[in-house]
Amino acid sequence: MTLKRYHYILIIGSLIILLSIINHIAVLHREAVSKEQQTQVIKKNAQKKAVPVKEVKYSFREIYEVKTKKKMVALTFDDGPDNRYTPQILDILKANQVKATFFLVGRQIDKDPNVVRRIHSEGHEIGNHTVNHPNLNKMEVPEISAEIENNNAKIKELTGYTPVLFRSPYGNASEQVKDVLTQHHLMLVNWSVDTRDWKMTSPSMIIDNLKSEVRPGSIVLQHSFGGKKVHNTIQALPEEIKWLKEQGYTMVTVSELIEQEDK
Active site residue ranges: 78, 223
Element (H, E) at 63: strand 62-63
Contact 260, 66 (CB under 8 A): yes
**Pairing label, strands 72-78, 125-128:** unpaired
Indicate if the alpha-carbon torsion angle 191, 96, 237, 248 is positive or negative. Answer: positive
User: CA gyration radius for the chain?
Assistant: 28
**Pairing label, strands 101-104, 72-78:** parallel
In sequence order, the β-bridge partners of residue 165 are 187
Q: Is 113 helix (H, G, I), strand (E, B) or coil?
A: helix
Element (H, E) at 76: strand 72-78
